[in-house]
């Protein structure tokens, strides 16, 4: 893999928008045939290889690593047959990057990013050989610096109690506590929030670090789908750096219903689900925008 530059991206945007990176992708993506059936609107999801200049080298959409390895070997062979001046871009791609509108450009460097891990909780009667039994997923919840500041009281005192701002709790619950364990699913609308609250209590004050116990509950309901769960966790706020050193919130309860792509068509009854929200690392792969970032309303 060191012979390639590996990257990952969301396909609908690349396939449908008219931004420079999208047009670049659209120019060559079908040269190996459409990977998911015929039709202009058919998803182009898969694995592709190209030169930076936009010469198609190979494509495949398989879970079998041997098939992907075979495609990569073929792509590398083609790459070596292309002259350097033909495989590289003549214009500086860094300048093009400045013209590309990406949600990732709004990454809240001075705020807080929580990784939201989701997985079904154990239950009886499931086939241990079925991938769905072990499925898990994740997303990222972003908070701007001023939103983090609103989560805190003006003065910290031991046993002080307050609630996290309702708008931030509701946004986090309806956009991130979704049943995405097996696949994509849309967030809930504001009117689908029956209840959502996170209660805070200072349990310790030591050397500028405030330890806060988190408890809460959530109920979301939209037609035949929903979530009802309890929350428990702990946060540690550093008054010197004005950042959370730790923010961990566990959510466990029951989900029900199904959406178009979340693979619950035969699993609509109430069943246990769990989430862990914790501070994301600085790793490049953790700087992807929230799935439903469009609903954040950030400008």
Partner 1 sequence: MRKLAVALLLLLPLSATHSAEELTEASYDRIVKHIMPSAEEEAWRKLAWRTTFWQGVMDANKEDKPVMLYTMNGHPFGCT
By CB under 8 A, the residues from 76 to 115 that bind partner 1 are 76, 79, 84, 87-89, 93-94, 96-97, 100, 102, 104
Name which position in 211, 287, 295, 296 contacts partner 1 (CB under 8 A).
287
DSSP code string of 138-175? EEEEEE-HHHHHHTS-SS--TT-EEE--HHHHHHHHHH
Instruction: Looking at residues 122 to 151 of the shown chain, list those that interact with partner 1 (rule: CB under 8 A).
Output: 122-125, 136-140
**Binding range to partner 1, per CB under 8 A, among 142-150, 151-159, 161-169, 286-294:** 286-294
If one asks whether residue 5 binds partner 1 (CB under 8 A), the answer comes out as: yes
Instruction: Looking at residues 157 to 176 of the shown chain, list those that interact with partner 1 (rule: CB under 8 A).
Output: none
Size of the site for partner 1 (CB under 8 A): 85
Q: How far is the CB of 274 from partner 1 (least distance, A)?
A: 5
Comparing CA positions, the residue from 245, 295, 255, 296 lying closest to residue 275 is: 255
Q: How far is the CB of 21 from partner 1 (least distance, A)?
A: 4
Signed CA dihedral, 97, 102, 108, 112: sign only: negative
Token code pair at residue 8: 């990952």
Signed CA dihedral, 75, 78, 84, 89: sign only: negative
Name which position in 14, 112, 210, 212 contacts partner 1 (CB under 8 A).
14
Which residues are CB-neighbours of 12 under 8 A, at least 6 positions away? Answer: 43
Asked if residue 29 lies in contact with residue 57, where contact means CB atoms within 8 angstroms, the answer is: no
Comparison of 67 and 102: residue with beta carbon closer to partner 1: 102
Name which position in 246, 250, 295, 296 contacts partner 1 (CB under 8 A).
250
Comparison of 152 and 289: residue with beta carbon closer to partner 1: 289
Asked if residue 188 lies in contact with residue 220, where contact means CB atoms within 8 angstroms, the answer is: yes
Comparison of 152 and 185: residue with beta carbon closer to partner 1: 185
Name which position in 86, 206, 223, 284 contacts partner 1 (CB under 8 A).
284
Name which position in 195, 270, 294, 298 contacts partner 1 (CB under 8 A).
270
Comparison of 130 and 240: residue with beta carbon closer to partner 1: 130
Comparison of 12 and 298: residue with beta carbon closer to partner 1: 12
Comparison of 102 and 150: residue with beta carbon closer to partner 1: 102
Which residues are CB-neighbours of 13 under 8 A, at least 6 positions away? Answer: 19, 22
Comparing CA positions, the residue from 64, 41, 46, 66 lying closest to residue 56 is: 46
3-state DSSP call for residue 192? helix
DSSP code string of 95-125? HHHHH---GGGG--TTSEEEEEEEEEPP-TT
DSSP-derived letter for residue 282 is S
Comparison of 29 and 193: residue with beta carbon closer to partner 1: 29
């Amino acid at each position: 893999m060191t012979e390639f530059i590996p990257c990952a991206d969301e396909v609908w945007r690349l396939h449908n928008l008219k931004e420079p990176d999208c047009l670049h992708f659209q120019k060559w993506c079908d040269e190996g045939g459409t990977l998911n059936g015929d039709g202009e609107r058919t998803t182009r999801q898969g694995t592709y290889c190209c030169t930076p200049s936009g010469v198609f080298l190979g494509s495949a959409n398989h879970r079998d690593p041997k098939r992907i390895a075979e495609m990569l070997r073929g792509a590398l062979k083609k790459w070596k047959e292309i002259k350097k001046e033909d495989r590289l871009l003549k214009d500086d791609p860094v300048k093009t990057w400045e013209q590309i509108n990406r949600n990732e450009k709004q990454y809240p460097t001075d705020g807080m990013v929580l990784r939201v891990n989701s997985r079904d909780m154990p239950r009886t009667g499931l086939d241990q050989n079925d991938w769905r039994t072990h499925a898990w997923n994740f997303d990222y919840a972003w908070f701007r610096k001023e939103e983090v500041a609103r989560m805190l009281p003006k003065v910290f005192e031991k046993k002080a109690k307050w609630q996290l701002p309702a708008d931030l709790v509701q946004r986090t619950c309806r956009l991130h506590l979704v049943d995405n364990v097996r696949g994509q699913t849309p967030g809930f609308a504001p009117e689908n929030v029956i209840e959502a609250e996170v209660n805070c209590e200072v349990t310790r004050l030591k050397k500028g670090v405030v330890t806060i116990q988190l408890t809460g509950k959530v109920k979301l309901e939209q037609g035949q789908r929903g979530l009802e769960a309890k929350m428990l966790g702990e946060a540690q706020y550093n008054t010197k750096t004005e950042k959370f050193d730790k923010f961990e919130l566990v959510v466990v309860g029951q989900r029900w219903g199904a959406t178009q792509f979340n693979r619950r068509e035969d699993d609509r009854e109430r069943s246990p689900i769990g989430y862990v929200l914790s501070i994301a690392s600085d790793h490049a792969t953790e700087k992807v925008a929230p799935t439903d970032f469009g609903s954040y309303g950030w400008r």
